[in-house]
Chain A
Amino acid sequence: MVPSTQYRSTNIIIQTILEGILRAFKDKSNPRNGIIKSHLIKYSELKTSIAEKYFNRMEKAGYISSHQEPWGERVKIIYEITQKGRERYEWFVKINTELGG
């Protein structure tokens, strides 16, 4: 039996990551349809190793997708939100807002 606190801490991280990707759309200086990995780690306030674990799991679950973009001699990893990820985040916001007040 998984303690409910674990469900919650996992969900907080997942929703924050999804929000980070969605919020990148608001940034007018962001030319791409996603967010750079390092920016997403910073937004989620996670250790790199933990963030990577979550990114991998979220990709496997079909919440996010990633691709690489060349950046000089190096490459940047860009994360995008999928339809499923967007739906899960909207669902989460709906639960939080529908009974408010």
Chain B
Amino acid sequence: MTELPNKNKKLFREENNSLDRFSKIEKGGLNYIKNERNYLIMSAFIPIFIIIVQCINLGYVFRAPPVNPLDPRPPVNPINVLAPIIILFVVSFFALVNFRYLLSWKRKVKSYEGKAPGKQKTLTSLFYDIVKNMETVRVIFIIVNIISIYYFIWFILWALSITDPHNPPPPLHVNLLNILSQGGLIIYLIIEWRHFYQWNRKLSKLKKFEREIYKEFNF
């Protein structure tokens, strides 16, 4: 094998080193993007489950049988109708935002990997796309939290009304579904809180980095 001249050897080593380092960076970046994709799938899946439970709740509120077939059916409490509708609306909106973003993002990642037609994306634009999305989702998440507190209060009051002799007790499967829905919502909120706590730290680090770069350039 012919020996490379010393200068070329150095260049060859530098090139390979840069290629290895970029491949490593790129791999790390894409792994992170896949992690974020899993988060988004989870983020959309749990609200869908809660929406199904709320639809069953609404069905129950309107179609609940009277305690005594001879007595007239008690009138529907508007709060019991309103609470699931508000939760349904807010959670659907949150899920929809995440889903819409998931679809557009999937297309962008494919474009970065060169698997989709059209203009190729950059890793930087993918990162900033996530940052921009998370900044928007963070605001919506505050509303989701407020509504969730309202939902928990409503659920406690609703659960207490089960013992009310004037109101018919809901069937066991409705109770179980609601308990599952509450549990699901609590787990979902804990995961989201943890995620947003990490994001807040990350965003402050990114902002600090951006300021430092700006200073280095002396714009």
Contact = CB atoms under 8 A, between A and B. Distances in A.
A61 to B, nearest CB: 5
Contacts of B219: 2, 10, 57
A75 interface: no
A95 B198 CA distance: 11
A99 interface: yes
Nearest to A16: B124
Given A8-B210, A88-B213, A101 B18 contact: no
Interface residues of A, number: 37
Please give me the 10 A-B residue pairs with the lowest Cβ-Cβ distance, nearest first.
A101-B35, A100-B32, A7-B210, A97-B32, A15-B124, A25-B19, A22-B22, A11-B210, A99-B202, A99-B198
30 contacts: A2-B214, A6-B214, A7-B207, A7-B213, A7-B214, A8-B210, A10-B210, A11-B210, A15-B124, A16-B124, A20-B122, A22-B25, A23-B22, A25-B18, A25-B22, A26-B23, A33-B14, A88-B213, A93-B25, A93-B28, A93-B29, A95-B206, A96-B29, A96-B127, A97-B31, A98-B202, A99-B199, A101-B32, A101-B35, A101-B36
Interface of B: 11, 14-15, 18-19, 21-23, 25, 28-29, 31-33, 35-36, 38-39, 122-125, 127-128, 130-131, 198-199, 201-202, 205-207, 209-211, 213-214, 216-219
